[in-house]
Structure 1
Amino acid sequence: MDLLKADLFDKLRPLLSAEASAEAAGTGVDAADLEQAVWVRLLEDHRTPADPAGWLRRAVRSEARRARRRARREVPYDGPAAGSGSGSPAGTGSGGGTGAEPEDALLHGEEHRALRSAVARLPGRCPELMRALLSPRDLTYREIAGELGISQGSLGPVRSRCLGCLRRMLAVEVAAPALRGMER
């Protein structure tokens, strides 16, 4: 088996290099990092792909999407930690700003839970379609259509109906601002 994988590595190396270079230009990731991620994925998979070239192209695109998502989520470190003798007391000054982060995380978590709850209550095939669209795997329309067993052409209209239904559900659930004072 190791000899078979070694032979596969030699055959796929030029294709992987070309695919990774092409995808790296749009992701802001080094092509060598994409190559390494694909090699690791191949080694972790204990089966030899039936269509190695097709598998390799899909794996490179998938790793590139993953790198783009990771880059969007990464937050640069702003500098020295509070209390490191920077001259201003902790929590004051222009560079602090860390006070609102836990609250923001909590609010975003509640929003995500509310959205997942609303998606689960959608009628028909909408819940599985919305879960596929919101998936962290960042599936293409072709992949979603294949997973759901529907034509790629009908995916757009079904998505529009599901989003309209979700919008109506969430509009009803979002409370109107309460009246204040002596208003009736």
Structure 2
Amino acid sequence: MDLLKADLPDLFETLRPLLSAEAAAETAGTGVDAADVEQAVWVRLLEHRRIPAEPADWLRRAVRGEARRARRRARREVPYDRQSVHGGPGAGTRSSTGAEPEDALLHGEANRALRSAVARLPGRCPELMRALLSPRDLTYREIAGELGISQGSLGPVRSRCLGCLRRMLAVEVAAPALRGMER
């Protein structure tokens, strides 16, 4: 059955409790937000464009897959050490931009390049990325309120925006120089 012609409210109400339970079970104790997994599964279902023959089985497999992806992403993320960046304990005498004027200049250029790339992102990405990069260190709840979107959709939207930004910056960054003997 075509998902576009299906009775989506009934499907949503039927699958929502199972999806919530499966997402909570798969993300328990992993540091992954169950709401982000739920949102990703709904998006996957809409991209699938068809109601699966066995919706409950499909939903369980989709939740497991999305939870695995979210755990992989969480392992790759590096915690932000505010104290060393802002001159707190352990920061020593070096400034956040480096000890030399050249470091400060390069840091400023990198920030300008990043902000320029953010401004060229499609859709709502520029305003979301500006909110995430804000020095006010906003929470997801505050960002969702400012942008007028649901808190649960911030994670998937952020991931898509970062993917666009990553692809955009990869094209703009020069290839590293060859090392060793050139052939």
TM-score interval for Structure 1 and Structure 2 normalised by the shorter chain:
0.3 to 0.5
Structure number with the bigger relative contact order (C-alpha 8 A, sep ≥ 6) is: 2
**TM-score, with length taken from structure 2:** 0.46
